[in-house]
Amino acid sequence: MGLQHASDRQSFFRMIEALSQGDCLEVDSFSVIADSSAQLLGAVCRIAERGADFVSLREEVDTRSEAGASFFALCRALGALDQEKPRPRRRDGIERAKEEGRYKGRRPIAVDESLFDSVVSLWQSGEITAREAMAKLDLKPNTFYRRIKEREELKMKDYKKAERELKEEIREAAKQSRRDLDELKKQVRAEAKEIKNAADEKIELHDVEREMRRDRIRAEAEHHETVRQMKKDVENETRELKKMLENEG
């Protein structure tokens, strides 16, 4: 962004949101950006938070110079004093309340959350200026920007929480996938073992059947040999008997 010149409040507050480390925002005078010291302090502190510099030509303020560098520190100190230092009578009341255990701290400014979200959305989209957004919400610059910062921090916490939950779900899903894979491997190994056992049984049965077939063939061969031998023996005995009968005759 570099050096930018804001000629009116609308452009000034719009440019603040675009500031980055090392940028510089210039105005003609303090009156361009604020009607009160509180508004001025809020705007200048916002620029400092962005890590940028501020230049006011009429008041001869330039935070880029050695003399002007203390301007931010002074604004921060005045802003802190304005926010934190209570008036004497109020301070006395606070001290008494603390002693009695009744002090609960400064009450936060009540803001309609839905209205705040809608107005901030309009401002962030560029439809209204930061000053107009503050007017709609009846908030001072410090409170307005602090609320936005708190919202962003809350969103970041929610995002990180959702990220952690998602990572945990992914880890659990990975663990479950590994368990399912291990179970599937067990089932595959068991089925493979059953198939092997069935194949072994089938091979063994085939071997038994083959051996039985061989025994049957061997038995049939032996039977045929026995019948042949018996037939031969009968034929021999018949011839011998015939010879005997011929001799006797």
What's the mean pLDDT in 207-218? Answer: 83
Distance CA(86)–CA(92), nearest Å, equals 9
- How many degrees, rounded to 5, is the angle at CA 196 between CA 190 and CA 201? 125
Give me the mean pLDDT over the 221-232 stretch. Answer: 84
Q: Mean pLDDT, to the nearest integer, of 198-203?
A: 78
For residue range 37-69, list pLDDT tens digits in order: 778 888 888 888 888 888 999 988 888 887 776
Going by pLDDT thresholds of 50, 70 and 90, the confidence category of residue 22 is confident
Inform me whether the pLDDT recorded for 17 exceeds 80.
yes
Question: What is the tens place of the pLDDT at every residue in 62-91?
Answer: 888 877 767 766 776 665 555 544 455 556
Tokens of 143: 């409170």
Q: With CA atoms as reference, report the closest residue to 10 among 33, 35, 30, 36.
A: 33
What residues pair up with 62 in beta bridges, in sequence order?
A: 55
pLDDT, tens digit, 9 for 90 and up, residues 102-161: 555 555 555 677 888 888 889 888 888 888 888 888 888 888 888 888 888 887 888 788
Q: Which residue has the higher pLDDT, 201 or 56?
A: 56
Average pLDDT over residues 10-24: 86
Mean pLDDT across 210-238:
84
- What per-residue confidence (pLDDT) applies to 117? 85
pLDDT confidence band for 214 (50 / 70 / 90): confident
What's the pLDDT band for 185 if we cut at 50, 70, 90?
confident
All domains in the chain, ordered by first residue = 1-84 (3.40.50.1390)
Report how far residue 85's alpha carbon sits from residue 159's, in angstroms, rounded to the nearest whole number. 36
Range from 20-24, 64-68, 238-242 carrying the lowest mean pLDDT: 64-68
Q: Contact 57/29 with Cβ under 8 angstroms? A: yes
Q: What pLDDT, on the 0 to 100 scale, is given for residue 28?
A: 92
Q: Considering the chain, what is the average pLDDT of its residues?
A: 80
Helix (H) or strand (E) holding 103: none
Tokens 């000629």 belong to residue? 7
